[in-house]
Structure 1
Amino acid sequence: MSNHARTERERLAELLAAAGPDAPTLCAGWRTRELAAHLVLREARPDAAAGIQLRPLGGWTRRVQDGYARRPYEELVRRFRAGPPRLSPFALPGADEAANTVEYFVHAEDVRRAVPWEPRELDGALAEALWRRVPLTARFELAKRTPVRLVLAHRDGRNLTVGQKLRGTVRVTGDPGELLLFAFGRGAQSAVTVTGWPKELAALRAAVALPAEPGA
């Protein structure tokens, strides 16, 4: 059985190691050093990781993460590559695959696409795993921001709709990994095709990151 989280962890660790501690990422305000610190904190310090999602705890999370970021970068990358500590929730059977496949795929692209990049052709099993995660991601990330109905269209013909009750429709077409990145707010650096009426496209562009317009 494939373990996509393990594969994406190794790929992300390799990208972090190759980039060095001060390379840019697509995570606003974070260099690779801060991203590596975030990854270690998330697995090693569940007390501080809670602040990633819970705003009242965000100050504690930032302080702990800043402490990690001051450690040697090579140590952070090594700790991340080694996998979750034995007592981490992510060490429970199945937790790494369920919780980290998308996390590591997206953050690997955060490193890779912060500099000139080329589209990545995904293994079919990984692409299918990512497609299964698109609906949940779109519901929690896109639905609260889009001003128009969105149809996220897989190139094989499958699709899902976000904001069913909204007026107007924009169609976003791409491979599963690209649609997932779009849903996570990385649309400006995603290989998707966005089509719709100009007024609806303008409204969407004001609310959601989209690829640059042709000729821009």
Structure 2
Amino acid sequence: MTNTQHTSDTSDALDNGTAHGIEVVAGTEAIAEARELLVQALLEAQPTDPTLCEGWQARHMVAHLVLRETSPLTAAGVLGGPLGARTERKTDELAQRLSDQRAYSEEIARFAGLRGYAQMRTRAPKIDQAMNLLEYVVHAEDVRRAQPGHERSQFSPEGRQQIWKALRAAARPLAGRDYPDGLVLESAGMTPVAHTVRAARDGAVATVLSGAPEELVLYLFGRTEVAEVKVQ
């Protein structure tokens, strides 16, 4: 399936106002689009294909996504801490069961149809977008860009604008401390075109990162080697 087909299939679902049976609420088109593109990336991968997440194959990514939205206790250990070992064990256990192609495909379908933690996808889609949009953008590319000759996910102009908005809100806690001399994000065609994450200190020159919103997301999430970002 080509990237053109990715875009067409996703657009058709969103044009109908639903995605996997979930109504798409105005202002949250990007999360539905990102979820569709993530599902497509996973379906096109084999269970044992590598990802950009060290030690994870595609099956581990599926396990992570399902557990993150169905098991709050497991999700709480994603960033490590006291629950980190339990989360790693649960992820590995589910991933082991997904080595089989049929089980892998069925679990992707399960993820696609989930209503999210506390049914967030249907009850609070704007919170769902705030919590999950950037995560989905990153993980779709974790799957795609680990493959030779990969194709990038293609977002609609509306989806890209919403990613830009989410990134501007998240950029300072995400990366502000990494750029003590200042940081500015630029993305041509977006509104606004530039966003100051951290103002330059007196006598210092701020770093400027330029690229499409999804590329900037990847860069700030540590995928610097695959993100198409200009650094000044």
RMSD (Å) for aligned C-alpha atoms: 2.3
In 1, Cα distance between equivalents of 2:196 and 2:115: 35
Shift of 1:133: 1.1
Sequence identity (%): 36
Aligned twin of 1:83: 114
Matched AA of 1:76: E
Asked if the contact 1:137–1:180 (Cα under 8 Å) also holds between the matched residues in 2, the reply is no
Whether 1:160 aligns to 2:195 is yes
Tell which deviates more after alignment, 70-79 or 42-51. 70-79
Alignment of 1:115-194 (within 5 A): 115=147, 116-156=149-189, 158-164=193-199, 166=201, 167-194=204-231
Residues 179 and 207, structure 2, Cα contact 8 Å, conserved in 1: no
2:123 aligns to what?
92
Is residue 46 of structure 1 aligned with residue 72 of structure 2?
A: yes
Q: Is the 8 A contact 2:51 2:143 kept in 1?
A: yes
Q: How far 1:130 moved relative to its partner?
A: 0.5
Deviations 1:144-190 (A, max 9, x none): 32354221112136212234355332211112111122121122211
Structure-1 separation of matches of 2:206 and 2:124 = 41
Report the Cα offset of residue 121 of structure 1: 4.4
SS at match of 1:188: coil
| Greater length-normalized contact order (CA 8 Å, ≥ 6 residues apart) | 2
Q: Does 1:101 align with 2:133?
A: yes
* Equivalent position of 2:33 in the other structure: 7
Q: How many residues align?
A: 195
Q: Hey, what's the Cα distance between the residues in 2 that align with 1:148 and 1:139?
A: 13
Name stretches of at least 5 consecutive residues in structure 2 with no aligned partner.
1-25, 99-103
Deviates more, 1:176-185 or 1:136-145: 136-145
Q: Give secondary structure in 1 for the equivalent of 2:209.
A: strand
Q: TM-score, normalised by structure 1?
A: 0.79
Moved more, 114-123 or 64-73: 114-123
Deviation by residue 1:64-99 (Cα, 9 ceiling, x = unmatched):
212211223233212212223685555533243332
The one-letter amino acid paired with 2:197 is V
SS at the partner of 2:207? strand
1:16 aligns with 2:42: yes
**2:8 paired residue number:** none
CA distance in 2, matches of 1:89, 1:50: 17
Residues 57-72 of structure 1 aligned to structure 2 (within 5 Å): 57-72=83-98
Q: Partners in 1 of 2:151 and 2:110 — Cα distance?
A: 29
User: CA, structure 1 residues 119+76, in 2 after alignment: closer, same or farther (shift >3 Å)?
Assistant: closer
**Residues 109-141 of structure 1: CA deviation (Å, up to 9, x unaligned):** 111111233455431110110011112332122
Counterparts of 1:119 and 1:60 in 2: how far apart (Å)?
A: 33
* Residues 72, 117 of structure 2: 8 Å contact kept: no
Which segment is superposed worse, 72-81 or 157-166? 157-166
Structure 1: state its 5+ residue gaps. 196-216
Structure 2 CA distance for partners of 1:87 and 1:29, relative to 1, 3 Å: same
